[in-house]
Amino acid sequence: EIVMTQSPATLSVSPGERATLSCRASQSISNSVAWYQQKPGQAPRLLIYGASIRATGIPARFSGSGSGTEFSLTISSLQSEDFAVYYCQQYNKWPPLTFGGGTRVEIK
């Protein structure tokens, strides 16, 4: 099973600032990583797949990068609606499909 590890667990950022979230895979997974956003009381939403491809309707301030075992999600200028929990997920070797533990982005 591929283990996905996200850091930090919590990120405190001021509105308008840049946020960078990290995700590490326990073995190489090429670019088979997706990122999801989950707001309180809501279901997750797909943001990024293929490590860097934005899903339909996702604003350009969200970008993803990385390959192999190291990946990152960057939010270039945080808006109020971006404060949420973000999860990475690998889909290179499955089953099982696995998620990272999540990074909470909170208002500083």
Partner 1 sequence: QVQLVESGGGVVQPGRSLRLSCAASGFTFSSYAMHWVRQAPGKGLEWVAVISYDGSNKYYADSVKGRFTISRDNSRDTLFLQLNSLRAEDTAVYYCARGAKAFPALFDPWGQGTLVTVSS
Which residues form the interface with partner 1 (CB under 8 A)? 34, 36, 38, 42-46, 49-50, 55, 87, 89, 91, 94-102
By beta-carbon proximity to partner 1, the closer residue of 78 and 88 is 88
Whether the CB-CB separation of 104 and 9 falls below 8 Å is answered with yes
By beta-carbon proximity to partner 1, the closer residue of 38 and 65 is 38
- Integer Cα distance of 11 and 72 in angstroms: 14
Minimum CB distance to partner 1, residue 14 (Å) = 26
User: How many Cα atoms are found within 13 Å in the side-chain-facing hemisphere of 19?
Assistant: 29
